[in-house]
Amino acid sequence: MIFRVMLLFVVCGLIWFVYTQWVIHNKSSGRELSHADVGIVLGAVLWDNKPSPALVERLDHALSLYQAGHFDTFIVTGGLDHPSLQLTEAQGMAAYLIERGVPSEHILLENQATSTYENLLFSREIMEDHSYKSAVIITHRYHGARSLEIANFLGYQSPVVSTTESKVLNMAWHQMRESLAYTKWKLDQLWITIGMKG
């Protein structure tokens, strides 16, 4: 009996893993990219108070969209990775963009978020404060599906996620890790929906 229960648990786990990988690879964009009020760049770790190579990939992709006229204002979002750092993720991203010619008045900073859910929750609050309606959310492809689901859950108006592939990350590891992150998100979504989590 115990063996059957364990076998059922393993089979269900494998099915769920395959499903999450299908979601990660096939649901990552939303509607077609056009012009949006803001481009939200989801944060990632800083190295020595500068964007890590993976975060640079997101920022460079965001820059290309900005220069192509897909949005006029950046929201860079991410809090303090570690007490030893001097800058939040958002501050590090803003400095990178300013160094590449983006006027500081075109960049809004969200300095508190510690998760993708908070990135998008707090960025939505900034949008509301500035009467912005539409957003393109910028991240890596493996992270796009979860970002889009969270944006829809938070009531973003027809959100678009624009993703870039990574040449610097270990994608096998990050895609497997994203299955766990997606699972955690679905549990958090349930708790928030039934009022057990804020």
**Of all residues in the chain, what percent are helix, strand and coil, respectively (each to 5)?**
55, 15, 30
Residue 4, pLDDT score? 74
Task: For 67-119, write each residue's pLDDT tens digit.
Answer: 999 999 999 999 998 777 889 999 999 999 999 999 999 999 999 999 999 99
* The pLDDT value given to residue 28: 65
| pLDDT tens for each residue of 36-67 | 999 999 999 999 899 999 999 999 999 999 99
118-122 mean pLDDT: 98
> Phi and psi for 190 in degrees, rounded to 5?
-65, -50
99 exposure class (CB count in 10 Å sphere: 0-12, 13-18, 19+)? exposed
Contacts of range 94-97, beta carbons closer than 8 Å, 24 or more positions apart:
95/50, 96/50, 96/51, 96/56, 96/59, 97/59, 97/62, 97/63
Q: What is the pTM of this model?
A: 0.90
pLDDT at 98: 98
Q: What is d(CA 2, CA 119) in angstroms, rounded to the nearest whole number?
A: 42
Q: Is residue 31 predicted with pLDDT exceeding 80? A: no
